[in-house]
Amino acid sequence: MTTFQELGLSPELLQSINNMGFEEATPIQRDTIPTALKGTDLIGQAQTGTGKTAAFGIPLIEKMDTKSRFVQGIVLAPTRELAVQVAEELNKIGHFKGIKTLPIYGGQSIVRQIKALKNGPHIVVGTPGRVQDHINRKTLKLDSVHTVVLDEADEMLNMGFVEDIEKILENVPTERHTMLFSATMPKQIQNLAAKFMKDVLLIKVKASEMTVRSIEQEYVEVKERQKFDALCRFMDIHSPELAIVFGRTKRRVDELSEALNKRGYSAEGIHGDLPQAKRDKVLRAFKNNTIEVLVATDVAARGLDISGVSHVYNFDIPQDPESYVHRIGRTGRAGKTGYALTFITPREIDHLYTIEKITKRKMEKRAIPSVSEAMEGQQQITLEKLMEVVEQDDYSGYKQTAVELLEENDSVTLLAAALKLLTKEPDTTPINLTDEPPLSVKKRRPNNRFSDRRRSGGPKREGGGGRDNRRSGYSKGERSGSRDGGSRSGGRDQSYRSQKRVREDFKNR
């Protein structure tokens, strides 16, 4: 156990951390903060939910000059939601030190952002496209930036931001501190590190530390056409307080949210094509319990800071084990027990075995509930609510009416009528969803388990194609080869040699 007091932080940061309720540093925080405070370039291989924002945020803020009115740090994030979430946490961490962090992203008024940039934020957190837009407009100058953070770098590369990222890094002084965080370590990440980072230290959180132990994980094998009815029956039995249903595509999310509403559930969808104002409205409604089900794609849900999610339903199996861990990490937070159910079509069973192998956790198989079982589940939930009212002893105003009703009806008939009135009976409104082709697995070499995984046919998935999910052999404390010369973006031969050396290190270690 490592406390933040042991990490040698300033009193202002310790006060902020204490106010945020942090006590013990997570593994990624414990290993990253001391290294980052020394100014060493590093790659943190860690999932969302491991505390990585504080891992890079604490050393980033510790190095800020409060007297300067120039941008000194920049954080790049793949989505608007993650940019806002990171900025909010950095503002909390830097509160007592007086550090101001500004989020900038597409979908928000650029005029408002230009005005905010003139107020002199110390740190900017932004999506690559909007950051590059401000650089081109000369409304964001990075001449004074001494620290750069690439958050969820693999996701940014999957979304096609590699050129924007490279152009942004070329606008930052070569003498800088660079931190890169990524759940996976594909070749593009290695190339990026070789080109723009020096003497890289890789800090890796073990897979066992990335899997949340407090989550009950189950799966159901079901045909594509039976998925929706099965989902509704499970939800009728579970009666989740707040649930997230993950779909593979934007079309799937739109159709699912509409279908759930037709069946009597309060649901809204969120994906990358929604206007920012609509996305914000949906998230507020979900956080305020105005809606009970959020339907989302992986990219849209990336980095969402939502508490109180009791159930996660993977309506479509995710494309890789890392995405699975990220999805189920939305539940089981703050010491609470969570529940995750994954729907598997017969042709996708190999993907289930891969997830189980990587997470080192076997999922329990569930049978599809019958309509009568779903009905019994709803009746049981109604009965429990009724007994809660009895135990609270807060029904005296209804006793006289009850006495009058009993004069004309027997008690069993009255209670049965009350239960029927309060119970949500399963809805059988016909629903037709567009079929999504199952995930396919290309034939591959025995040691290359997860590469080149793509769907055959159907619409393009949000966030791009498959990833190379092979994990590097690096462990904490190992370094990639250092680059010759002082320039971070040197000549072609130098860059090629550095990229080749890093790739070989990642391959051979």
For the segment 415-439, what is each residue's pLDDT rounded down to a tens digit?
888 777 776 777 778 888 998 888 7
Please, which pLDDT band fits residue 231 given cuts at 50, 70 and 90? Answer: very high
**Residues 66-110: tens digit of each pLDDT:** 999 899 999 999 988 889 989 999 999 999 999 999 999 998 899
Contact 104, 113 (CB under 8 A): yes
pLDDT of residue 456: 37
Please, which pLDDT band fits residue 181 given cuts at 50, 70 and 90? Answer: very high
pLDDT of residue 356: 87
pLDDT of residue 107: 86
Q: Mean of the per-residue pLDDT values for the chain?
A: 81
Give the least confident one: 200-204, 331-335, 378-382. 331-335
Closest by Cα among 308, 343, 324, 315 to 259: 315
Question: Phi, psi at residue 147, to the nearest 5°?
Answer: -140, 130
pLDDT of residue 445: 38
Contact 272, 299 (CB under 8 A): yes
Query: Helices marked H in 239-346 — which ranges?
Result: 250-262, 276-287, 298-301, 321-328
**Residues 396-420: tens digit of each pLDDT:** 788 888 888 888 888 888 888 877 7
Question: Phi, psi at residue 101, to the nearest 5°?
Answer: -120, 135
| 411 Cβ contact list (under 8 Å, min separation 6) | none
Q: Give dist(CA 440, CA 338) in Å, integer.
A: 29
Delimiting residues of CATH 3.40.50.300 domain(s) in the chain: 4-18+28-205+470-508, 213-365
Please, which pLDDT band fits residue 323 given cuts at 50, 70 and 90? Answer: confident
**Residues 116-130: tens digit of each pLDDT:** 999 999 999 999 999
Please, which pLDDT band fits residue 167 given cuts at 50, 70 and 90? Answer: very high
Mean predicted confidence (pLDDT) in 226-239: 93
pLDDT of residue 487: 37
- Paired sense of beta strands 215-221 and 364-365, if any: parallel
Residue 256 has pLDDT above 70, yes or no: yes
In angstroms, what is the C-alpha Rg of the chain? 26
Mean predicted confidence (pLDDT) in 157-172: 92
pLDDT of residue 218: 96
Q: Give dist(CA 47, CA 251) in Å, integer.
A: 27
Mean predicted confidence (pLDDT) in 258-282: 89
Fold type of domain 213-365: Rossmann fold (3.40.50)
Residue 208 has pLDDT above 70, yes or no: no
Residue 334 has pLDDT above 80, yes or no: no
pLDDT of residue 294: 95
Q: Give dist(CA 60, CA 125) in Å, integer.
A: 12
Fold type of domain 4-18+28-205+470-508: Rossmann fold (3.40.50)
| Most confident range, picked from 249-263, 392-406, 422-436, 466-480 | 249-263
Share of the chain above pLDDT 70, in %: 81
More confident residue, 245 or 410: 245
Contact 498, 195 (CB under 8 A): yes
Q: Give dist(CA 219, CA 215) in Å, integer.
A: 13
In the 3-class helix/strand/coil scheme, how is 391-441 assigned residue by residue?
Answer: HHCCCHHHHHHHHHHHHHCCHHHHHHHHHHHHCCCCCCCCCCCCCCCCECC
Residue 158 has pLDDT above 70, yes or no: yes
**Residues 16-58: tens digit of each pLDDT:** 998 887 777 888 899 999 999 999 999 998 766 678 899 999 9
pLDDT of residue 38: 94
Q: Give dist(CA 371, CA 369) in Å, integer.
A: 7
